[in-house]
Amino acid sequence: MKPIQVGLLGVGTVGRGTFEVLRRNQEEIKRRAGRGIEITVVADLDTQRAKGLVGEAVKVVGNAKEVIANPDIDIVIELIGGYTVAKDLVLAAIEAGKHVVTANKALIAVHGTEIFAAAHKRGVMICFEAAVAGGIPIIKALREGLTANRIEWIAGIINGTTNYILSEMRDKGLAFDTALKAAQELGYAEADPTFDVEGVDAAHKATIMSAIAFGIPVQFNKAYVEGISKLQAQDIRYAEQLGYRIKLLGITKRVRHEAIAEKEAIELRVHPCLVPSKRLIANVEGAMNAVMIQADAVGTTLYYGKGAGSEPTASAVIADLVDVTRLMTADPLNRVPHLAFQPDSMSNLSILPMQDVHTSYYLRLVVADETGVLAKITGILAQTDISIDAVLQRPTAESKQETDLIILTHTCLEAHMNAAMTQIQALKSVLAPIVRIRKEDLS
């Protein structure tokens, strides 16, 4: 049988890995796919470098549109990244009747609804396993492995850069800037690390998982996003003393909410969390990723592995190539839907605004070491319906006249916490901006 011919757009880190793994394991992959899969055309702006990577047997062009226009190409792999050029190329490939495999989480999270609609209309497949958690097959688990389940929530460490930084801050007591510099020197963080450290990359991935888990459109613009750049070493130390570790989590969950017509809504948020140190996910260290899923039939499952890198991500790209190869001749109506649910059965459940989310909190306040301070603060919390779980007091290194006051709360409404913090911050005895970190038990 004639091999499937693939066009590759972009020969960066993942593109190079995809080409190498496909070449190295071609016989194994052919046995699984039922026919050969060959990258026959590559597009890259640096054609000389690309030729050096893929050799003389593969055609190299500088214009990606040449790949899309090539009638012999069955599948297009998009590994360019970004929102604009990649979107235009993917839509052009769909219009040309090509199946598309992409690792572009930003593209899917922001423009996925438009792209999936175009693919459905044209009868082609868009596969994006590599867009979330690198080599961990989390998309396939959500779309297929857990298809019998009603999923309740997902919580994931889905950015290796931030997890490495937090691990270094905890293990070595480093400040954020020092840990970030170490991550950059090792290649874990980009020269401009904003998307990683401010939570945007994780929010792209959480948005995609949320859409698949709950059958809602991708809605990145409604995600709450908070990164780790303001975290301080003493908070990581205090969390450890209290039996927690701080992780940047992407969280999406189904919740009951009486204030909305549907009585049910979806949380979609990315932010640092205190997680009990006994939880498996709290012990995921370095640049590794992990995703916890709570579902009604199977219970809690955990997926762990490398979330980035040349060959781990290439593994996911090639898995998608094999899926497309197997299903190319299938009736489009019999293929697994892009977002797990049939397109005419998608839900209109709302994304819950962050102020309406219920969770618990870690608060650290630098206060004057004087009588009555704690009573004033606990009084404000009580007036805003916030109950206290634990209190810890520690002297600061700066002055004997001030102290760190650490408060853990029970679950409360975010809007109530916002109101309480405004009042507490206004107290003369509160000497610095209040540190707030949300807490998730994940049980």
| Active site positions, annotated | 205
Q: Is 34 helix (H, G, I), strand (E, B) or coil?
A: coil
End-to-end CA distance of the chain: 50
Both tokens of 93, joined, read: 């490939």
User: Within 13 Å, how many C-alpha atoms sit on residue 247's CB side?
Assistant: 31
Looking at the DSSP assignment, which residues form a beta bridge with residue 368? 402
Q: What is the DSSP letter of 403?
A: E
Contact 205, 105 (CB under 8 A): yes
38: Cβ–Cβ under 8 A, 6 or more apart, which residues?
3, 4, 5, 6, 22
DSSP E strands, 338-382: 350-351, 358-368
SS3 readout for 157-181: ECCHHHHHHHHHHHHHCCCHHHHHH
Nearest Cα residue to 213 out of 136, 141, 278: 141
Residue with structure tokens 């102020």?
355
Q: Which two tokens stand for residue 169?
A: 């801050």
Rounded distance, CA 256 to CA 272, Å?
Answer: 24
Residue 218, token pair as written in the block = 């991708």
Backbone angles phi, psi at 65, to 5 degrees: -65, -25
Q: Where are the beta strands (DSSP E) in 158-258?
A: 224-225, 244-256
> What residue ranges in 229-318 does DSSP mark as E strands?
244-256, 264-276, 288-295, 299-306
Q: How far, CA to CA in Å, does 103 sit from each of 15, 83, 206, 240? A: 10, 12, 15, 36
Residue of 54, 105, 438 lying closest to 289 (CA atoms):
105
CA distance 202 to 273: 14
Instruction: Tell me the C-alpha distance between 32 and 35, whole Å.
Output: 8
Q: What are the two backbone dihedrals, phi and then psi, of residue 300, each rounded to the nearest 5 degrees?
A: -95, 130
Paired residues of 245 in beta bridges: 275
